[in-house]
Structure 1
């Protein structure tokens, strides 16, 4: 089976680098290119899993549980799409339900591995990890702030500039009104 490169990259980061922020970025871009109007797309569900784990790893259990609950709601009606992605839907739902239950408890973050049923997909992703120096399925490095606190380290200058530009436009429009 052929899988989109962005999906392969998502799996590489999810199970290799454990960079859930990057998982979110990759799949969000792909989703916007392939199904931008579909807010209930299976891509959104996978993005929500990564976001939930990012929050959980940082100790935001409430936000993590809420986001994972949304992912579960989304993905329960997407079994066919999940199968096409080489995932085992029933095992995925059980894993996510168990993870959600853990998030609601005082138990700490735990890395999870998505239940991939396509052996060739696993082998492809393992090869990607080996090539980049990562171990497929290894636990998150909780001391690695570059993945744990990634949102604090990103360059947001373009976002800040755009907000300033929009504010300036609004002010100009207000001044131009009679």
Structure 2
């Protein structure tokens, strides 16, 4: 019923709190469709993960921008969010509360997405158990490979693509 990438997102979001990987798996899924067919609610979920990633690192400006964008998208896409087994109203409330925390530059704390589909919840918990993970475990704030993941990966493909796009814009 739900795409595998979404299950992967939920797993990383709630089990290992690898928000960077949340971004990666959903963005890859989102980009599988042609630009005109892409569904914006996936971007909202991606931005939640990116906002939490920035918050955990103490990048309050980046976190605030991502969470505010996510809040706008989730608000407009409530039906699509509900179709993903999430309570869109509770999610919006959680995001608004997180935005207040970030604005006050309060320390990061893990959050869970409000899953309302009991079958989805059971499937996710079973996935966590099969991987010997704890569903809803708090983020390990001392795991540098998790907290600073973006600095530890090979980004040559991303840099190459940005340079290619810049050249195209200069030509056009």
> TM-score normalized by structure 1?
0.86
Please say which structure displays the higher CA radius of gyration: 1
Alignment of 1:123-138 (within 5 A): 123-138=122-137
> 1:98 and 1:38, CA in 2 relative to 1: closer, same or farther beyond 3 A?
farther
Aligned pair in 2 of structure 1 residues 137, 163: CA closer, same or farther (>3 Å)? closer
Q: Secondary structure at the match of 1:146?
A: helix
Kept in 2, the 8 Å contact 1:35–1:41? The answer is no
Q: Secondary structure at the match of 1:151?
A: helix
Could you say which residue in structure 1 is the equivalent of 2:59? 60
Give the direction of change, closer, same or farther, for the CA distance of 1:113–1:159 in structure 2 (3 Å limit): closer
Structure 1 contact 15–138 (Cα < 8 Å) conserved: yes
CA RMSD between the two structures: 2.2
SS at match of 2:139: coil
TM-score, normalising length: structure 2:
0.89
- Hey, what does 2:42 align to over in structure 1? 43
* Equivalent residue number for residue 97 of structure 2: 98
Give unpaired runs (5+ residues) of structure 2: none
Aligned to 1:115: 114
How many Å separate the matches in 1 of 2:30 and 2:162? 24
Per-residue CA distance 1:33-75 (angstroms, 9 max, x = gap): 1363467700000000000000000000111011100111111
SS in 2 for 1:33: coil
Preserved CA contact (<8 Å) 1:68 1:100 = yes
Does residue 1:32 correspond to 2:25, yes or no?
A: no
C-alpha distance in 1 between matches for 2:23 and 2:141: 19
Alignment of 1:75-90 (within 5 A): 75-90=74-89
Deviation (angstroms), 1:155: 1.2
